Structure formats: structure tokens, C-alpha cells
Amino acid sequence: MTVKKMEVEDLDDLDNVLKIVRAQLEINGKQLVTTQKFKLDRSAEQNALMWKWLTVIGNELGNTKDEMHEIYKEKYLISIFVRDDPGYAAMAAAIKQLRYQSNTDYQDIRKQVIKMTSTTKCNVKQMREYLTDIKQHASSELNITLPLPELRGLI
């Protein structure tokens, strides 16, 4: 079985896919065709901007960029994942229940979840929201002006 994957972004791409499907139908008869939404992961540029900003904020506050990353993951990224990922939301809800049973276990697990939560799981839209949250916090609450390179598509 031959599997062909093609990205379709516009009508020209769709026309090309339809030509291939028509040709395969003529040659081989019945075909299985599936489609799925394309998930674009966060870009390298978004990631570089995040680390640049975390470094600037960390330097202003006397923290490392890694410390700032942990702070912002807890402050913003976790809530983005809870909203967008039902599995992550269920895990977060289960962990919150520990708070009432064993605060020590809750704090230990909470720290591990924050540590394991990663922007590598973000799509472009989620990363854009995360960067916007960081920028807003730095400017409005910390009075820190972040460098703004060409931001088209980044935030």
C-alpha cells in the first residue's frame, strides 16, 4: 500500500490532490482518502523570542531565564493547556484534589508537572498567546520594556 501525504493550503493544492486521487482511482479502483487538520508546532522564532524575553525579565528581576520560564509556565502556560487539552485538564484536576488530602504530595507533584510542562507541546497559536501573556505581564506589572523584533506571526 502506498501512502501519500500532501499539505493543502489553497485551491491549487486541492486541485493537485484531486488529480492524484482521480488517477489512482482509474488505475487501482477503490481508494481510501483521509484528511486531518494540520497542526503547526510553535516556531523556532517564537521559541528564540521567548528565551530572549525570559533573559531580559530575569536580568531585571535577578533571576535566571530558566527560573523565569518555570514562573511563567505556572502562571500562563498551564492554563492554556488545561483549556485546550482535555487529558491535561483531567490530570490538573486530579492533582488539585491532592491539595485537600496531602499538601506535601500536592506541592511535590505540582512542581514536577510545572517542570514537565513544555512549550514544545504548543502549537503556533498557543505559543503566540503565551508570548502575549509574558509581554503583557512584563509591561503592565513589572514595567519592563521587552525588545520587539519583527513580530509578524510571532505574537
127 or 21, higher pLDDT: 127
pTM assigned to the model:
0.69
> For residue 7, what pLDDT is reported?
66
Find all residues with CB under 8 Å of 60, minimum gap 6, and list them. 142, 144
Q: Average pLDDT in the 66-94 region?
A: 96
pLDDT in tens, 113-136: 999 999 999 998 999 999 999 999
Q: What percent of the chain is predicted at pLDDT more than 90? A: 54
> For residue 16, what pLDDT is reported?
78
Boundaries of every domain in the chain: 1-38, 44-140
62 dihedral zone (left: phi>0; alpha: psi -120 to 50; beta): left
pLDDT in tens, 43-62: 888 999 999 999 999 999 99
Q: Comparing C-alpha atoms, which of 143, 133, 154, 140 is closest to residue 72?
A: 133
